[in-house]
Chains A and B, each alone.
Chain A
Amino acid sequence: MLNKVIHSDILQKKRKLDSSKEESTSPTCINGNIKTNYFSEYEQKYMEKAFELANEALQSNEVPVGCIFVYEDNIIAIGRNMVNETRNATRHAEMCCIDQVNDFCKKENLNFIAVFKETFVYVTVEPCIMCAAALYDLKVKSIIYGCKNDRFGGETVFNVADVLKPVTTRKGGYRADDAMNLLKLFYQGVNPSAPSSKLKRKFKETT
Chain B
Amino acid sequence: MSAICKVRSILDDSFINNLPLTEVFVDSITCPKNISKVVLELNLLFPLPELIHLKRVKSKEVLLFPSQNIVKEEVHKILQERGFPIDLLKNEIRKVEVAAVPPLVRSQYLQCHSIWPCNFHSDKYIEKLYTNTLFSDEELKIKMKFMNITEDIGKFSKNNNGVLIVDPKSNSVVAVGYDRSNDGPCRHAVMVAIDNVSKSQRGGCWTNDEYFTVDQCNSNCKDIPSDILALLRGKYTDIKFSDSALIPSERVTPYLCTGYDVFSTREPCIMCAMALIHSRAKRVFYGKSSENGGLGTLCKIHTVKNLNHHYEVFIVENIEEKKDS
* Chain A residues in the interface with B (C-beta under 8 A): 82, 85-91, 95-96, 98-99, 102, 112, 116, 128-131, 133-134, 137-138, 150-152, 157-158, 160, 163-164, 193-195, 199, 202-203, 206-207
Contact of B255 among A112, A138, A194 (CB under 8 A): A194
Query: Chain B: which residue is nearest A199 at the CB level?
Result: B252
Query: A95 vs B187: C-alpha distance in the bound complex, in angstroms?
Result: 10
Q: Which residues of the other chain, A, contact B255 by a CB distance below 8 angstroms?
A: 193-195, 203
Any A CB within 8 A of the CB of B298: yes
Within 8 A of A (CB), among B272-325: 272, 274-275, 277-280, 292, 294, 298-299, 301, 304, 306-308
Q: Which residues of the other chain, B, contact A163 by a CB distance below 8 angstroms?
A: 270, 298-299
Q: What are the nearest 10 A-B pairs in CB distance?
A: A87-B203, A130-B274, A133-B270, A89-B278, A88-B198, A133-B271, A129-B274, A163-B298, A90-B275, A87-B198
Q: Which residues of the other chain, B, contact A99 by a CB distance below 8 angstroms?
A: 184, 186, 205-206
Given A90-B194, A133-B270, A158-B304 contact (CB < 8 Å): yes
**Shortest distance from the beta carbon of B107 to any chain A beta carbon, whole Å:** 27
Q: Which residues of the other chain, A, contact B252 by a CB distance below 8 angstroms?
A: 195, 199, 202-203, 206
Any A CB within 8 A of the CB of B191: yes
Contact of B304 among A112, A138, A157, A206 (CB under 8 A): A157
From B251, B252, B274, name the one whose CB has the most chain A CB atoms within 10 angstroms.
Answer: B274
Q: Which residues of the other chain, B, contact A89 by a CB distance below 8 angstroms?
A: 194, 256, 275, 278-280
Any A CB within 8 A of the CB of B37: no
Within 8 A of A (CB), among B171-219: 183-186, 191, 194-195, 198, 201-206
In the complex the two chains form, is A98's CB within 8 Å of B186's CB? yes
Contact of B191 among A90, A128, A151, A195 (CB under 8 A): A90
Any A CB within 8 A of the CB of B169: yes
**Shortest distance from the beta carbon of A168 to any chain B beta carbon, whole Å:** 14
Any A CB within 8 A of the CB of B259: yes
Given A88-B203, A157-B306, A203-B255, A130-B195 contact (CB < 8 Å): no
**Shortest distance from the beta carbon of B172 to any chain A beta carbon, whole Å:** 14
Query: A160 vs B258: C-alpha distance in the bound complex, in angstroms?
Result: 25
Query: A94 vs B12: C-alpha distance in the bound complex, in angstroms?
Result: 29
Q: Which residues of the other chain, A, contact B256 by a CB distance below 8 angstroms?
A: 87-89
In the complex the two chains form, is B307's CB within 8 Å of A157's CB? yes
Q: Which residues of the other chain, B, contact A199 by a CB distance below 8 angstroms?
A: 252
In the complex the two chains form, is A85's CB within 8 Å of B250's CB? no
Contact of B195 among A88, A195, A206 (CB under 8 A): A88
Query: A207 vs B240: C-alpha distance in the bound complex, in angstroms?
Result: 18
In the complex the two chains form, is A87's CB within 8 Å of B204's CB? yes
Query: A39 vs B310: C-alpha distance in the bound complex, in angstroms?
Result: 37
Any A CB within 8 A of the CB of B269: yes
In the complex the two chains form, is B185's CB within 8 Å of A98's CB? yes
Within 8 A of A (CB), among B143-191: 169, 183-186, 191
Query: A134 vs B274: C-alpha distance in the bound complex, in angstroms?
Result: 10
